[in-house]
Amino acid sequence: MVLMQSNQSLKAAKTNFEKAYIEQAIEANGCRLRKAAEALDIHYSALLTKMKRNGISLKRHMEATHGS
């Protein structure tokens, strides 16, 4: 859960929320991006775009989840 910071702009808050929400979906779906996209109700390519824009690395999630 992302908590509101009083000195944070709405744009920054939306970005932080989106990043955390996507990361949670990726982890909840075992790093399977197609399943995560389905859970988020977005197209797979849109998920990839959002991951790139938000600096989300699948490799980092896989290492954290699987200890590799």
Residue 29 CA to residue 37 CA, distance in Å, equals 9
Asked whether residue 5 is domain-assigned, the answer is no
Q: b/e string for 7-46 if b means 16 or more Cβ within 10 A?
A: eeeeeeeeebeebeebbebbeebebebeebbeebeeeeee
pLDDT of 1 higher than 60: no
**How many structural domains does the chain have?**
1
Host domain of residue 52: 11-66
Asked whether residue 21 is domain-assigned, the answer is yes
Q: What is the pTM assigned to this prediction?
A: 0.79
Asked whether residue 15 is domain-assigned, the answer is yes
Residue 22 CA to residue 46 CA, distance in Å, equals 11
> What are the pLDDT digits (tens) for 5-57?
668 899 999 999 999 999 999 999 999 999 999 999 999 999 999 999 999 99
